[in-house]
Amino acid sequence: MPFVVTTACLDILDRSCLDQCPVDCIYLGERMTYINPDECIDCGACEPSCPQNAIFHIDDLPAEEAHLAPVAERFLRTMRAVGGNIDRGPLGADPPEIAALSPRAQD
């Protein structure tokens, strides 16, 4: 999995990354986005487009967010999220680990 979306995306869903991804491998959950590691080509186009700085290469992932890589991968496989977000549309769900998080405080 080259890139991972962190909880800095939680409850914000800016979606800039979806517009920048050339292979449409970023999927929209209920509370945050997820990058499909089987579809990502490791181009990095999503990383600088995120205004929340929520996207990291897996090698640079903050330690407190490292648990998200397998969570996202398992979730996307369970949801059978294949073929691109545009074709699939919003997933309408999040993995239990994300759904259980407290809502982000509104600024």
Class of the 3-87 domain?
Answer: alpha beta
What torsion do the CA atoms of 56, 61, 64, 70 make, to the nearest 10 degrees? 90
pLDDT at 46 over 90: yes
> Residue range 55-84: average pLDDT?
89
DSSP 58: G
- Ordered by start, the domain boundaries in the chain are 3-87
pTM over 0.85: yes
Per-residue model confidence (pLDDT) at position 107: 59
DSSP 17: H
> Residue range 2-7: average pLDDT?
93
Percent above pLDDT 90 for the chain = 67
Per-residue model confidence (pLDDT) at position 89: 74
CA angle 45, 35, 75 (to 5 degrees): 180
